[in-house]
Chain A
Amino acid sequence: MIYLDNAATTLRKPESVILAVANAMGNMGNSGRGGYADSLTASRMIYEAREELADLFGCPQADHVIFTCNATEALNIAIQGLFGPGDHVISTDWEHNSVLRPLYLLEEQGLELSFVPSDAKGRHRESMWEQLIRPNTKGIVCTHASNLTGNLLDLKKAGRFAKKHGLLFVVDASQTAGVFPIDMKEMQIDVVCFTGHKSLLGPQGTGGLCVGEGVKIRPLKVGGTGILSYEKRQPEVYPTALEAGTLNGHGIAGLLAGVRYVKEYGIQHAREEEQHRMREFYEGVIQVPGVTVYGDYSSWNRAPVVALNVWDYDSALVSDELEVRFGIATRPGAHCAPRMHRALGTEKQGAVRFSFSHFNTRKQAEAAAAAIREIAGE
């Protein structure tokens, strides 16, 4: 099996991640729920994980790193906790449903919503940003990279734009955390939402958000926190304010190991490897008659994702052919990115997405390109 669906989840995890989860399951109590050794082991590990993630994202304080079960939950907390009826929010055509659906939910309640449109290569029409500003615009919510095309947003520029207009800046880093540098201070980001199970190489069921100083988010859920038990209201202090219920300590132990692995391996190193694989694959298919590749390839500084179609074939059938005949795992269909597909005109056909990890080899990228050439030539 050649696994090329790393944008959905990284299948191969470092041994240290697997061991960390197994050890945690044998040794860890419930964090913050007791002063005995097993509970403290969990609390200490979770604190370490907050520190490592704060360092990774340039989050000013470790206690502003909030754990959730995935990026979707983090985005729901950020979006529903910052915006409401009467506010105007700017987002983009690149977004995943994890951004879109919370926004659409608020729209039903009176939120005003605008989207930066994309051109035929899936690029933002940058001139549009300025035109979308309204007197009640409160924030920008957008992904760092499209999960369909791999096109990359310049976060520094977007952060500058947000601050120029006094807007909250919320970033979905699902496709980039652990591969591209993200610095909340330098990029003027208020909230970074991340998942643990993609390029941070942790287990599924992990993720979180890093919240900038002075950014107050209403909790999405309330409940047990291990602190202020006699108060009727959820505590307001971070991280507890946004972390009702027992944390996924076993998963976070794996995430911590994943983040440490990523830092040791080197974000730049991982990115270069993945971009090499993307390029080898892209160059193997771009000239092939009948193959259409979507996205902007004017620079190789892009997320390691290649989406394509072969002739007018149903993307699901091409993906199935790749699996059955060549043992190659890809993702067809809509990729939870309805606006991006509409912008590219692929709503009906979908697209076959190839996404790379630094664990993939050149041989694998070339084998995938050869498989596409064969299918297109038949």
Chain B
Amino acid sequence: MREKTRKLVITFHTTTDAMAMEKFCRGKGLPGRLIPVPQQISAGCGMAWRAEPGEEPSLRQAIEAAGLTVEGYYEVLM
């Protein structure tokens, strides 16, 4: 296994919301990628967006400005 580091994990209610996030971020050149939700987080959808913790403010701002639906923001050792 890879060495664990802290990551920003953004969770979603549905797969559709996760897909909307990916399309939005790819379109805007925003960082991150989809991953299966780590077991330590309880989330609706089985997929989450993973990025670096330092990228949270800019991602949060972009997500809110675009009106995307997310479930929660977590920092996870993974």
The answer, yes or no, to whether B17 is at the interface (CB within 8 Å) is yes
* Option from A33, A47, A237, A239 in Cβ contact (under 8 Å) with B46: A33
Nearest chain A CB to B11 CB, angstrom units:
10
* Option from A44, A226, A238 in Cβ contact (under 8 Å) with B22: A44
The answer, yes or no, to whether B62 is at the interface (CB within 8 Å) is no
Nearest chain A CB to B58 CB, angstrom units:
23
What is the bound-complex CA distance between A291 and B20, given in angstroms? 55
- Asked whether, in the complex, the Cβ of A63 is within 8 Å of the Cβ of B47, the reply is no
B residues 1-53 with Cβ under 8 Å of A? 13-20, 22-23, 34-36, 44-47
Nearest chain A CB to B29 CB, angstrom units:
18
- Asked whether, in the complex, the Cβ of A35 is within 8 Å of the Cβ of B19, the reply is no
What is the bound-complex CA distance between A32 and B15, given in angstroms? 5
- Asked whether, in the complex, the Cβ of A35 is within 8 Å of the Cβ of B36, the reply is yes
Residues of A within 8 A of B17 (CB): 63
The answer, yes or no, to whether A227 is at the interface (CB within 8 Å) is yes
Residues of B within 8 A of A40 (CB): 34
- Asked whether, in the complex, the Cβ of B34 is within 8 Å of the Cβ of A237, the reply is no
Residues of A within 8 A of B47 (CB): 32, 35, 43
Contacts A31-B15, A47-B16, A239-B16 given; does A227 touch B46 at CB 8 Å? yes
Residues of A within 8 A of B23 (CB): 44, 47
The answer, yes or no, to whether A197 is at the interface (CB within 8 Å) is no
Interface string of A197-233 (1 = CB under 8 A from B): 0000000000000000000000000000011110000
- Asked whether, in the complex, the Cβ of B45 is within 8 Å of the Cβ of A226, the reply is yes
Residues of A within 8 A of B15 (CB): 31-32, 43, 226-227, 240
- Asked whether, in the complex, the Cβ of A237 is within 8 Å of the Cβ of B44, the reply is yes
For chain B, the bracket of interface size reads 10 to 19
Count of chain A to chain B residue pairs whose CB atoms are closer than 8 Å in the complex: 60
> In chain B, what residue has the closest Cβ to A44?
B19
Q: Which of A34, A50, A228, A238 has the most CB of B within 10 A?
A: A228
What is the bound-complex CA distance between A47 and B17, given in angstroms? 9
> In chain A, what residue has the closest Cβ to B17?
A63
> In chain A, what residue has the closest Cβ to B22?
A44
Residues of B within 8 A of A237 (CB): 13-14, 44
Residues of B within 8 A of A235 (CB): 13-14, 44
What is the bound-complex CA distance between A34 and B19, given in angstroms? 13
Q: Which of A33, A43, A229, A235 has the most CB of B within 10 A?
A: A43
What is the bound-complex CA distance between A211 and B5, given in angstroms? 42
What is the bound-complex CA distance between A31 and B34, given in angstroms? 13
- Asked whether, in the complex, the Cβ of B34 is within 8 Å of the Cβ of A240, the reply is no
What is the bound-complex CA distance between A141 and B19, given in angstroms? 32
> In chain A, what residue has the closest Cβ to B42?
A230
Nearest chain A CB to B77 CB, angstrom units:
19
- Asked whether, in the complex, the Cβ of B46 is within 8 Å of the Cβ of A226, the reply is yes
- Asked whether, in the complex, the Cβ of A227 is within 8 Å of the Cβ of B20, the reply is no
What is the bound-complex CA distance between A46 and B47, given in angstroms? 15
Known: A46-B19, A226-B46, A227-B15. 15 other contacts (CB 8 A): A31-B15, A32-B15, A32-B45, A32-B47, A35-B35, A43-B15, A43-B19, A43-B47, A44-B23, A47-B19, A63-B16, A63-B17, A228-B44, A238-B14, A239-B14
List chain B positions with a Cβ less than 8 A from chain A: 13-20, 22-23, 34-36, 44-47, 69
Can you report 27 A-B residue pairs in the complex whose CB atoms are below 8 A from each other? A34-B46, A35-B34, A40-B34, A43-B15, A43-B19, A44-B19, A44-B22, A46-B19, A47-B16, A47-B19, A47-B23, A50-B16, A62-B20, A63-B16, A63-B17, A63-B20, A63-B69, A226-B15, A226-B46, A227-B13, A227-B14, A235-B13, A235-B14, A237-B13, A239-B16, A240-B13, A240-B14
**What 7 pairs across the A-B complex have the smallest Cβ distances?**
A32-B15, A47-B19, A35-B36, A63-B16, A227-B45, A227-B44, A237-B13
